[in-house]
Structure 1
């Protein structure tokens, strides 16, 4: 099975990035600790976009990503950060050799 990378962009509610990050950091830690298929989960903070967060994630397979997207940690993240996220877009990427 081929690894899968995700590059995601999240827009937070105006002035709420720091609050959102508390929940996102906890989510990232849970994913790295409990999801064996989550290989990389990095949070990026664009310098010129105060209400934007980007993610770089690598999964062992598409199935591992699907498990992540339906797992307990992401469900908790959605509850904890309710009202703080305006939008989410992502791109699925193959890893170059």
Structure 2
């Protein structure tokens, strides 16, 4: 089965990126520790966009991503970071072999 990569862009509330990052880092650690299909979860901090965070995630399969998207860690970060996230967009990608 083919791996699935996600490139996501998150806009945070103005001036709240550092606070949001605390919750996002905990989320990434939980996902890597408890979701066998989550292979990579990298958090990127754009240098010239102070209220933006980007993610590079790799999943073992589309099903693994769906398990992540509906999983407990996702529910936890939504609760923990309520009011800190303005928007989330993502692009699903195949990994060139």
Structure 1 match to 2:18: 18
Structure 2 match to 1:8: 8
Q: Structure 2 regions of 5+ residues with no counterpart?
A: none
Structure 2 match to 1:68: 68
The runs of at least 4 consecutive aligned structure 1 residues that moved more than 6 Å come to none
Which residues of 2 match residues 44-63 of structure 1 at below 5 A?
A: 44-63=44-63
* SS of equivalent residue, structure 1 residue 6: strand
* SS of equivalent residue, structure 2 residue 48: coil
Q: How many residues align?
A: 97
Cα distance in 1 for residues equivalent to 2:63 and 2:94: 14
Deviations 1:22-43 (A, max 9, x none): 0000000000000000000000
CA RMSD of aligned residues (A): 0.2
Q: Structure 1 regions of 5+ residues with no counterpart?
A: none
* SS of equivalent residue, structure 2 residue 43: strand
